[in-house]
Structure formats: structure tokens, C-alpha cells
Amino acid sequence: MAELGPLTPRPALLGERDYDVAIAGGGYTGLWTAYYLKRLQPSLRICVLERDICGFGASGRNGGWMMAAVEGEARLLAGLDEEARQLAREAILGILPEVEAVLARESIDCDYRRGGGLFAAARYPEQLATQRAHLEHYRALGYSEADYRWLDGEELAGRLRLNNPLGAIYTPHIARIHPARLARGLADSVSALGVDIFEHSPVTGLAAGWLQSEQGAVRAPVRLMAVEGFSWNLPAQRHHVLPVQSRVLATEPLSEAQWTDIGLARYEVFSDASPLITYAQRRADNRLVFGSRGSYRFGGEPRADFSADGEAFTGIARLMRACLPQLEDVAVSHCWGGTLGIPRRACPHAVFDTASGFGTAGGYLGEGVGASNLMARTLADLVLGRDSELAGMPWAHRGLPAAALRHWEPEPLRWLVYKATDKVLGWEESACAGGAPRWRRQLWRSGSAALAALRG
Ligand SMILES: Cc1cc2nc3c(=O)[nH]c(=O)nc-3n(C[C@H](O)[C@H](O)[C@H](O)COP(=O)(O)OP(=O)(O)OC[C@H]3O[C@@H](n4cnc5c(N)ncnc54)[C@H](O)[C@@H]3O)c2cc1C
């Protein structure tokens, strides 16, 4: 956090104020939405109410993979003709060029570097099937060899000295960023455009035409919710999104010699094919940042304190060293966690209901660093009633369609399904890595197939 400079909160909302648009949530979604609305219609009076400080949520603490991708794309594109699919693909692949243009225009320094990604890297034979499925998935969506291509073990080893490299998928459509710098930079840019940002101003209630906060209230014909994994604290949104915690650690800064030993010379991000979902990047300050799939708390309350989480972080460090044994003696200097949101429909959305003035965007399944830019641009177009290409995309919804905002099942069902999924996924590491006996591998395969069927 020291590298971010002073994090003095902006003033809180006090008393009653009138705006044209009020946005709850000062993460990427809320800030990008404010940015595009203000750019498209500078006369709009817009405010952002943030519960803590801008970037406090997942936007300020993620793994920094900015992907030109949206989770659940197959679901979104299902039923579209080839022309519509092509337009959607172009919109998705347009995320990075668009972000690059804004970063340059607004002089936001967030260590952006488009080194591409080496992902779903296989370390043991079972993972090759996962990779093949990934690649087939991209081909079925219409992406070309130039977008996603297979690297064999030798090519992979030339870029990343992974333990037992069997292969990976390479894509040029991923950039590395410093997440908090992007969130804080966006907040400053939005503020400079004339948007009022109130920090330490949680939205505590929604009523027709109003957003209520602790020490004040905003009257606005358009009210947009951009709280993602924190929907839990707003009764009207509580059941849309499952809040899941993911955890990240950072090593001490590594020397050039250590980086030569690891690879990633082009600052590619990487992940292995473990279902524990790993993600890593080489930061500008030469630390390796390594994160992994998180946990869900019964009832859904997001956790704020990850310091008591020693065992979980030890597990992530073990996984990092299993991928990169060169890091055996390297110290972990920082550990943190954050809350992301899993929507029941398993794909993101931008929703605006003209009749009530209510809108929302999100549902990124932990992949919102790039997708939030696309959803925010879409939401801005919906709010302004623009007849744009984005407003016609399959993630754009007019009205309040129940399908897009589908509710999660009640407890204890969600907790049980999450726990069972977690257990089976955890088995893979122990069952397949390190030459486990055949019967254990077979058991793992059957378990994951059964769960995939259950989740589907
Ligand atoms: C550890 C971790 C690693 C991740 N890594 C990646 C990655 O590498 N790549 C990727 O694409 N995605 C990643 N993600 C997911 C990504 O960070 C999110 O999808 C994205 O940041 C969501 O942005 P958002 O603005 O919608 O939500 P958030 O950033 O969570 O913002 C929501 C904001 O709303 C505020 N808020 C909450 N309640 C209220 C209220 N009542 N009133 C007002 N404000 C409120 C919160 O304080 C928060 O600032 C990761 C997430 C985590 C947690």
C-alpha cells in the first residue's frame, strides 16, 4: 500500500443531495461507468458512493490479469447467429485497446504491460485433457489460432521454467496491471471530470428515486449498483451474487538472476491447469504475485480480515513452489485476500430498467478486471438510451429480467455445493500430482465428472 501514496478518504456524503445518476460502489465497475457516462454526456451530475475507499474491494486487490475475455461467453453467445457472435467477439477483443486508449488519455500509470498469457499450463498428464478442452472451447467460440494457441512442453519451457512443463495455452489478449493503481487512477480521473465521489459512505437502503447512506441521502432518477461481491450487504441484491474469497501472496523482490531462472521475460502472466485456479504475474517491482481459488462462508458474509488465514496461505505457497521449485527459499512478503462475485447464471451482465431508473452491472466470476470496462461501457449506453452495438450485446439487458438476475438457492444448499466442489477440486492436486496410484487418479476423475454434471 505504501507505493500508492496517502489513502486519505474523500469526504463522506452528509445531508441530502440531488444528482442525475448515483452509483453505489467505487470499484472498476462503478468508476468505469461514471467515466463513460460523464464522457458521453458531460452535463450529467453524477456521484459515486463508496462504502470504504475507492479500490477497497476486489478492484484494489486482485491478481492483476486484465483479460480481453468474459467468463461464461459460451452461455452468452448460445443461440446467436455467426454475425452476432462475430460482433460480440470483436467487442470482447476490443477491451484491451480501449483500456490502453483511456490510460494514455488520462495519464493513468498502473504498470500496464501487455505481455500476453501462458495459461492452463499442464504439469501432469491429467491436465492435458483440461487444456484440450480449453482450446476446443475457444475454437467453438470462433477464436483463431492467433488468439489462442497451444504451446508444447518445449515452447513453454522456453518462456517459463515450470516444474515438469507439458504444455500451455498462449494468448496475446492479456495484460498485467497493478490493480490498486488502476482503481485509484480511475477515481482521480473521474473526479477530475467532475464526478463527486463520497468515500466512507455506504449505501444502506434503496427506495424509489433515492439511495440512502449512513449520514445522508441522494435523490437521483438513475441509481446504479456496482457492488459485486458485496451485494450481500444490500437486501435487494443479496441473492444475486455468491461472494467468494480468493487469496493472493507476493514474494520478496527477485533478482534478475532469479528471473532468468524463472522466465516470463516478456512479463507474461501465467496459471497452471489446476482446478484450484492459480494466477500469477511478474510485477513491475520484480515480485512474483501468485493467487489461488478461495472460499465461501456460510450465509455469504464477505470476510474483511485475512490475517488469521495462515493455513490457506501456506497451501498457496506450497502450490506456488510445486509450480516453481526455484522459489523454495524465497520468502513470501505479503498475503492478502478479497471478495469476488459469482452470479447464479454464471456470466456477467449490464442491466438497466428505464421505468424505475435502477441498473446494475457485474457478475464476473472472478474475471472482472477487463470485463468491468466492457460492462460499464454497456451500462452507460443503456442508461443513455443509445442505440449502440454494445446495447445490443447478449450481456445487455433492458428492464429487470429475472434470468439475468437469477437468485441463488437458499442456505444450506449453496454452502454444501460449494464445499463439495472445493473438496473434489482439492483432491486433484493430491491425487494426480506427484505420481499418485492409478485408483486415486480414477477416483478423482469420476468425482470431478459427477460434480461438473451437478454444477451444470
Ligand atoms: C484476490 C482476487 C484476485 C482476483 N484476480 C483477478 C484477476 O487477476 N483478473 C480478473 O479479471 N479478475 C480478478 N479478480 C476479480 C476482479 O477483481 C473483480 O471481478 C472486479 O474487480 C470487480 O470489480 P467491481 O467494481 O465490480 O467490484 P469491487 O471491486 O468489489 O467493488 C465494489 C465496491 O463496492 C463497495 N461497496 C460494497 N458495499 C457497498 C455499499 N453498501 N455502498 C457503497 N459501496 C459499497 C466496496 O467497498 C467496493 O469498493 C480477482 C478478485 C479477487 C478478490
- Spell out the domains of the chain, with CATH numbers in brackets: 10-108+178-239+345-398 (3.50.50.60), 117-171+243-343 (3.30.9.10)
Q: Which of 154-168, 301-315, 372-386 has the lowest mean pLDDT?
A: 301-315
Q: Is 26 in the pocket of ligand 1 (CB under 6 A)?
A: yes
Give the dihedral of Cα atoms 297, 298, 304, 310; nearest 10 deg: -40
Pocket test for ligand 1, best of 66, 201, 282, 364 (most atoms within 8 A of CB): 364
Hey, whose CA ends up nearest to atom 49 of ligand 1?
Answer: 57
Instruction: Name the nearest CA neighbour of 271 among 155, 118, 160, 136.
Output: 118
Confidence of residue 441 (pLDDT cuts 50, 70, 90): low
Ligand 1 atom nearest the C-alpha of 213 is 42
Report the alpha-carbon distance of residue 241 to residue 197 in Å, rounded.
Answer: 25
Hey, whose CA ends up nearest to atom 4 of ligand 1?
Answer: 62
Percent of the chain whose pLDDT exceeds 70: 93
Q: Is 29 in the pocket of ligand 1 (CB under 6 A)?
A: yes
Mean per-residue pLDDT of the chain: 91
Q: In this structure, which amino acid lies at residue 421?
A: T
Whether the Cβ atoms of residue 265 and residue 159 lie closer than 8 Å to each other: yes
Confidence of residue 3 (pLDDT cuts 50, 70, 90): confident
Confidence of residue 18 (pLDDT cuts 50, 70, 90): very high
Confidence of residue 275 (pLDDT cuts 50, 70, 90): confident
Measured in angstroms, how far is the CA atom of residue 450 from the centroid of ligand 1? 31
Report the alpha-carbon distance of residue 50 to residue 201 in Å, rounded.
Answer: 5
Q: Is 232 in the pocket of ligand 1 (CB under 6 A)?
A: no
- pLDDT, tens digit, 9 for 90 and up, residues 242-255: 899 999 999 999 99
Ligand 1 atom nearest the C-alpha of 368 is 19
Ligand 1 atom nearest the C-alpha of 246 is 1
Hey, whose CA ends up nearest to atom 2 of ligand 1?
Answer: 62
Ligand 1 atom nearest the C-alpha of 233 is 41
Q: Is 233 in the pocket of ligand 1 (CB under 6 A)?
A: yes
Interval 357-378 mean pLDDT: 97
Instruction: Name the nearest CA neighbour of 288 among 278, 275, 277, 276.
Output: 278
Within 8 A by CB and 6+ apart from 38, the residues are 44, 46, 190, 193, 194, 195
Hey, whose CA ends up nearest to atom 35 of ligand 1?
Answer: 25
Per-residue pLDDT at 456: 44
Measured in angstroms, how far is the CA atom of residue 354 from the centroid of ligand 1? 26
